[in-house]
Every structure is written in C-alpha cells, then in structure tokens.
Chains A and B, each alone.
Chain A
Amino acid sequence: MTDYACQRTPASRALVPPLPVAVFFVLAAALASLLWGAGPVGAVEALQVMTGQGSEEARFVVMELRLPRLATAMATGLALAIAGALLQALTRNPLAEPGLLGVSGGSAFAVTLAILLGASSATMTTLVAQAGALAGCALVMLATRSRGLAADPVRLVLAGATVTGLLLSLTSVMMLADQRAADEVRFWITGSIAGTSLADLVAVLPSMAVAGVLVVIVASPLAALSLGERAAMGLGHRPGRIRALVVVAVALLVGGATALAGPLVFAGLVVPFIARALAGPDIRKTLWLCLPIGPGMILVADTLARVIGAPAELPLGVITAMLGAPVLLIIVRSRRMPAL
C-alpha cells in the first residue's frame, strides 16, 4: 500500500475554499446571463439598464425577459443538482440520474397526453408535467413495493429504467397519432426555458419549497445511511423512512425542474459529480456545493444557448448535453469511479 498520508484526500478538504469560489461562479454566471442574449441588447446597454439608464426597449429585454429567465434557470439548476445528489447517495450509484425514478418519463407522457387532448397553454403544461412526474415516480415505487423490495436501490433503478422506457415508447406512439402534438412535444422534450414566464416559476415554487424542507430533514440521516443499513439503524435512524422522504423530495424537485425546462439530460448527473469531487464523500457537503454549482451550470448553458446561434436560440437541453457529456467522459476516464 502506498503512503497516502501525504496525499490530499477529498474527504479532508473543507468546504471553505470551494464554496466561496462556487458562489462567485454563480454570481458571475448570473451577471453574464443578464448582459448577453440572443437579441440586439448588448452588454453595455444591459449595464446601463442596471444602473437605471438605457432605453425603454432595453429595459424591457433585461428586466422583463432576461431577469425572469435567470430566476427560472437558477431554480431548474438547483432542483436538478440537489435531486441528482440525493438520488446518487440513495442508490449508492455515482451514475444515477433523476430521470431513473420514472420522473422524466412520467412528465413527457403527461405533457404529450395533455397536448394531444388539446392543451397548449404554458402554465397548463407546468402543472401537467409535475403531476406526470409524480405519477411516474409513484409507478416505479409501486413496481418495487409490490415485491416488498423497496429497500433495494438496485431494483429501484431497474424498475425506474423499465417504467421510463415504457412511458417514453407510449409517448412516441401518441406523437405518431398527431402531427401538431408531435411538433410541440418535440420542442418541449429537448428542454428549453425560452418560453417560460414567472408564472410558471411561481407554479412550481410550493412543491420545491416542500422538497427543500425534506432535504434539510433528511440530509444527516442519509449521510448515516452511507455507512450501511444496519449501521444507520444502530445510530437511531429509520432507513425505510429516509428512503421514502428522499424519493418524494427527488420527485418534487425533478418534477418541478422538468415542468419548467423539459427533461434536461446530464445536469442532474454531472453537477453532483463535480460537487463530490470537490467536497468529498459526505452528502451534506455535496448538497452545500450543489446549491451554487447547479444554478451556475444551467445559467452558463442557457446563456450559451442564446449567444451561440444568435439571433436564433439553441434548445437548452442540447447545450447541457453538449457540456455535460464531455465533462462526464473526462471524469470517467481520468479517475477511478468512486464507490459510494
């Protein structure tokens, strides 16, 4: 065995250096997302607006379009990052993704069904997507619970993948039936926050607030669960209840994020991975770091989505996939996969 004593190990790292850096990162990303967009209002003009000057048109673009979008992007990024970190800790799988709980599949199915039935208002979609997310998650829970195996994270993931596959193929069938629905769904399913309003954000805030309370309650017991089922029980925790609370929190968070932005690939996978690389194996520290890194990543991705193809916009989901996939590949190739 080599001498590890002189190595810097992730676990011994404190939160102090990475957390302020990450907060600075999210602030910079927020500023950038206000300064640049797909439209003609540039950085200088946007700065003028922020200091109380600038034209009426520029003011509208910055305050009424970019600012709400900034809020939506931050909420989406926060929810996906926290949900990913929770799910990875719960399943002890560093590659677990929020979508595995059947959440994204349920959302896509519900939104498609609603559009097929004639719905099109954006606010309507928000609530439908969130209801679908919870229903998809409940279906996965049901599939595992009926065999009395809810305690088994591997089966949870298997059931999640199965239910997701089923829901997505049903979604495809519905899209074949109606061309108009297919176009709308295709836009939604790529992931974008271009069309969202503050009303959408307000619609999902209550469920995200509930999830936030659950996360605060469950963080320490979940950390103890990483020591093993019996060890956690020996410390006075109840693993079944911890798992149930985590699953509800993840469903609420991903349901909210998916309702806002569609199913965004990789965001909930990569951010917790980076947070853990910086903060070590303790889920509580990982969660702290996810708070700034998650919103920061989505802000950067959304700003890029607006700027790269200006004056047209790329879908946010394309950017998160294009940013997320290489990051993940680098992580997978450069170091041993950490065991959780």
Chain B
Amino acid sequence: MSHSSARTPDNVPDQPGLAAQALSLAHGRYPVIKTLNLELPQGKVTAIVGPNGCGKSTLLNGLARVHVPAGGAVLLNGRDIHTLPSREVARQLALLPQDNTAPEGLTVTDLIRFGRQPHQGFLRRWTEQDQAILEQALAAADLAELADRPLDTLSGGQRQRAWIAMSIAQQTPLLLLDEPTSALDLGHQIEVFELIRQLAGQGKTVAMVVHDLVSACRYADHLVAMADGEILARGAPSDILDPDLIHRLYGVHCDILQDPADGTPVLVNLRKSF
C-alpha cells in the first residue's frame, strides 16, 4: 500500500521522517526526558524498550506531538511538529495510544472510518475512495469477516488489529504504537506483531514501545534501549544486546543465546544476582 501525500504542501521534505532534536519532556515539574536526540530509520520498525518509568511511553507521546516538549523539538519532515496544523500532522503520522476506549457497540467498520477524518474536510463527506481505503484496511488487518462486529465482542488481538486498521486507513507514512501488545496473550501478541512487520514491509516507518524485550528483538529492526530518560544504546538488536546492557537496563544478570531459527537474541538464565 502506498501512502498518499498528495494533499500535503511539502511533498519533497528536506529531511523525511520523524526525529527528536535535543528533546526534553516533563510531567509538570518533573523532568522525564533530558535533551534526547533520536531519528527513526525510514521504512524500519523501531522498538523502544526499557524498565518501567524510564520514559519510553513519554518519549513516544512526545514524538506523536501529544506531549508538549519542555525543550528542544520534534521534527516531522524537517519541520517543528508543533508549528504544523494538527490535522496535517495526522496525515503524516498515526498514533495508537495505550489508553484507547471505544463506546459500547462501536463496530470495527465504525472505528476504521475514524481513520479517514484527517483527510476529510468540513464539507467533504465519505467518498468512494474512502470506502476503498476502508476495505483495504479491513483486508490488511484480516478483519473483513468481522467488519460489522462491535469491538466489545472481539478478542483482545482482534480488537488491537482493528485499532491498527484504523491507523492503516489514516494512510500515513509513519506509525507510532504505545505498547500494542501489552494486554495480549502469546498468540495474540504474535498476530499483532506480524501485522506490524507487514506494514513496515510496505514501506511504513514504525516506532513502538514494547515491554517484552525478547519480542522487541524478534520483531524490530532497530532497538532503542532507554533508562532513566536517556538512551543507553541503539542499533540492530543482535548488535547492541549484551549481558552488560541488560544489567544496566533492568538490574538483572543473564546469558544471551541465539534463536537457531533466525539468530534473534534470546535471554536465558535470568537472575537478580550472581
């Protein structure tokens, strides 16, 4: 699926994609992220990992312009994201937050239709193109048969796929997800991660906060390891993951093996102390 950027004024960005520049984020008086620099690799899946309270969700919300910076800037295609109209940003960047709610009875189709809102003007109503995009999104998330089901009757994995389908319908080159699999069992986690990989395969730039380090290593091209509001390491999972990093992140010791199938790092022999 190609993303249409025909409606945005800057079709040829000098610096495509999303980047944080000396970004500082705070919750009220409490600083969480201090002068952080980050660039999301184009067309790749970036996983942000780290211990609870390290600021990874805050960073994601900052990148998605939902959290206003205390200093520095988030650059979308080279321009400060907070100087751009929010609707224009929504055509470039989709966000799947953690605190989603859906009114009881809302169907999968109802939800996905919301994804077209950034593209609809005040008077421009639902078009055939919107309908085609809705059906593409349903198919991409494998939800065609559940299109008319209310979200509250779906399994957790199906529901999360429906939310992702909404962001697919938003047709943005960038997708940010905040713990997309946190409440899901193993099977549903894999279902969601594989959908995310599929989207990256189609050229989307994805960033996600992931709680489970092993899943992050398996499904991300690029790992950003954070502790205490700072990035400790970044790079391909197999390059940066070592027992020392695990200890600095989580304060635990472990050994690292490689999955014989695909070379993904696997943590074994986890323990609090030697």
Q: A9-B150, A224-B117, A231-B97 are in contact. Are A236 and B107 (CB under 8 A)?
A: no
Q: A4-B150, A11-B105 are in contact. Are A234 and B110 (CB under 8 A)?
A: no
| Residues in chain A near residue B129, CB distance under 8 A | none
Interface positions, chain A 1-26, Cβ under 8 Å from B, are: 1, 4-5, 9-12
Q: B89's contact among A220, A236, A281, by CB below 8 Å, is which?
A: A236
Contact between chains at B106 and A11 (CB < 8 Å): yes
Contact between chains at B101 and A234 (CB < 8 Å): no
Q: A5-B149, A11-B110 are in contact. Are A338 and B104 (CB under 8 A)?
A: yes
Interchain nearest-CB distance for B154 vs A (Å): 9
Q: A1's contact among B91, B107, B153, by CB below 8 Å, is which?
A: B153
A237 within 8 A of B: yes
Contact between chains at B117 and A234 (CB < 8 Å): no
Counting residue pairs across A and B whose Cβ atoms lie within 8 Å, the total is 101
* Least CB separation from A225: chain B residue: B101
Q: How far is the CA of A121 from the CA of B115 in the complex (A)?
A: 53
Contact between chains at B118 and A226 (CB < 8 Å): no
Contact between chains at B114 and A12 (CB < 8 Å): no
B95 within 8 A of A: yes
Contact between chains at A234 and B104 (CB < 8 Å): no
Interchain nearest-CB distance for B69 vs A (Å): 15
| Residues in chain A near residue B91, CB distance under 8 A | 236
Contact between chains at B97 and A226 (CB < 8 Å): no
Interface positions, chain B 46-97, Cβ under 8 Å from A, are: 61, 64-66, 85-91, 93-97
Q: A226's contact among B64, B89, B102, B153, by CB below 8 Å, is which?
A: B102
Interchain nearest-CB distance for B187 vs A (Å): 16
Q: B170's contact among A229, A235, A339, by CB below 8 Å, is which?
A: A235
Q: How far is the CA of A224 from the CA of B113 in the complex (A)?
A: 10
Interchain nearest-CB distance for A152 vs B (Å): 14
Interchain nearest-CB distance for B106 vs A (Å): 5
For A, the interface residue count at a CB cutoff of 8 angstroms equals: 30
* Least CB separation from B122: chain A residue: A217
Interchain nearest-CB distance for A215 vs B (Å): 13
Binary per-residue interface labels of chain A (289-330) against chain B in the complex, 1 for a CB within 8 Å, 0 otherwise: 000000000000000000000000000000000000000000
Q: A220-B117, A224-B117, A234-B66 are in contact. Are A281 and B103 (CB under 8 A)?
A: yes
A27 within 8 A of B: no
B2 within 8 A of A: no
B99 within 8 A of A: yes
Interface of A is mostly: loop
Interface positions, chain A 249-284, Cβ under 8 Å from B, are: 280-282
Binary per-residue interface labels of chain A (219-248) against chain B in the complex, 1 for a CB within 8 Å, 0 otherwise: 010011011111101111110000000000
Q: B105's contact among A5, A10, A231, by CB below 8 Å, is which?
A: A10
Interchain nearest-CB distance for B221 vs A (Å): 23
Q: A281's contact among B90, B94, B100, B105, by CB below 8 Å, is which?
A: B105
Interchain nearest-CB distance for B238 vs A (Å): 32
* Least CB separation from B148: chain A residue: A12
| Residues in chain B near residue A9, CB distance under 8 A | 105, 107, 148-150
Contact between chains at A233 and B117 (CB < 8 Å): no
Q: A1-B153, A226-B102, A234-B64 are in contact. Are A12 and B97 (CB under 8 A)?
A: no
Q: A236's contact among B90, B103, B105, by CB below 8 Å, is which?
A: B90
A340 within 8 A of B: yes
Q: A12-B107, A228-B100, A230-B99 are in contact. Are A236 and B153 (CB under 8 A)?
A: no
* Least CB separation from A237: chain B residue: B86
Contact between chains at A235 and B118 (CB < 8 Å): yes
Q: How far is the CA of A12 from the CA of B148 in the complex (A)?
A: 7
Contact between chains at A234 and B90 (CB < 8 Å): yes
Q: A234-B66, A281-B104 are in contact. Are A228 and B90 (CB under 8 A)?
A: no
Q: How far is the CA of A10 from the CA of B152 in the complex (A)?
A: 12
Contact between chains at A340 and B117 (CB < 8 Å): no
* Least CB separation from B118: chain A residue: A236
Q: How far is the CA of A231 from the CA of B170 in the complex (A)?
A: 12
Contact between chains at A226 and B101 (CB < 8 Å): yes
Interchain nearest-CB distance for B242 vs A (Å): 35
Contact between chains at A235 and B114 (CB < 8 Å): yes
* 23 residue pairs A–B, Cβ–Cβ below 8 Å: A1-B153, A11-B107, A11-B110, A92-B101, A226-B103, A227-B101, A227-B102, A227-B111, A228-B97, A228-B99, A231-B96, A233-B65, A233-B66, A233-B86, A234-B96, A235-B90, A236-B86, A236-B117, A236-B118, A237-B86, A281-B104, A339-B103, A340-B104
- A residues sitting closer than 8 Å to B (CB atoms) are 1, 4-5, 9-12, 92, 217, 220, 223-224, 226-231, 233-238, 280-282, 338-340
Given A12-B148, A228-B99, A236-B88, 8 more A-B residue pairs with CB atoms under 8 Å apart are A10-B105, A11-B150, A230-B64, A230-B98, A236-B87, A236-B89, A280-B110, A340-B104
